[in-house]
Amino acid sequence: MTEVYRFSESEILFFFLVLVRMTAFVVSWPVFGVETVSQQVKILFALILTLVIFPTLHISPEQAAVIKGDLVLPVIKEVFVGLSMGYLARFFFFTFRVAGEMISQAMGLSSAQVFNPTLGGQSTAVEQLYVTLASLFYLGINGHHYLVSGIVSSYQWVPAAQLTLNTSQFAGVGQMVQEVVSLGLQFSAPVVISILVVNLILGVVGKTVPQLNVLVTSFPINIMIGFALLMITLPMLMDQMGDYLQLSTTRVFDFVKAF
């Protein structure tokens, strides 16, 4: 019975490498990696994932040779892989942050910012609404389960204690950022374009009737039209979330597979 608790030096160091990747992933992945979740909970969850995943992994002679050597480069690589999966998964939420910020600018609510503890900074009310809806949708379809299964599968794509790293796919991150901004603009387009048309009409009215103070009148009109369009477009936005989440998750997994 005591043989179960007898681990070799290579196995202990390999367990440490797995724990490093899990910890880097847990502190950076969306929804649960926010600042409102205590660091103790994150470390405990990373340890639980490591205890579950470690028995399913096998150490090859090549990995054992790397582990017995210098551990600096293997640790750096494990941190990089874990952080890459966590932060790339957040691109799904960055899209809705861009859309919320654009709508807030169009409605004139960009100056009314409040502290958002989950983001660790200031954000507008519309941006918080969009991110909250995206988080609820993400949890509702078990998006966090896909990420956990992805980090488990990452040991098949990028084995631990392996010093090789393919950097040819790093250029694809720029394309992912471009898609995030582009989709954010598309999600905010109905509200932004409608408010732009209203402002053009108010500008024509202001030229026709100089006695009318268009600058003061436009603020409540923009806010009223903006909220009305938000209620109309939210169902369509929710329909698009599923397809976009599947696309972003696939992009993250393809990126990690290319390491």
Give per-residue pLDDT as tens, 42-72: 888 888 888 888 888 887 777 777 777 777 8
Q: Higher confidence at residue 4 or residue 243?
A: 243
User: Chain centroid to CA 189: how far?
Assistant: 22
State whether the Cα torsion 74-75-78-79 is positive or negative.
negative
State the pLDDT confidence band at 2, using cuts at 50, 70 and 90: very low
**Domain parsing of the chain, residue ranges:** 2-257
Distance, first Cα to last Cα, the chain: 40
Give per-residue pLDDT as tens, 185-226: 888 888 888 888 888 888 888 777 777 777 777 788 888 888
Please, how many CA atoms are within 13 Å of residue 94, restricted to the half-sphere of its CB? 15
Residues 161 and 153: their CA atoms lie apart, in Å, by: 15
Dihedral of CA atoms 147, 150, 151, 154 in degrees, nearest 10, equals -160
**Looking at the predicted structure, is the pLDDT value of residue 7 above 50?**
yes
Structure confidence at residue 1 (pLDDT): 42
Residues 21 and 82: their CA atoms lie apart, in Å, by: 5
The residues facing 103 across adjacent strands are none
**Could you tell me which residues come within 8 angstroms of residue 59 by beta carbon, excluding any fewer than 6 positions away?**
10, 11, 14, 67, 161
Which one-letter amino acid corresponds to residue 87? Answer: Y
Residues 229 and 154: their CA atoms lie apart, in Å, by: 42
Give per-residue pLDDT as tens, 110-167: 666 655 555 556 677 788 888 888 888 888 888 788 888 888 888 888 777 776 666 6
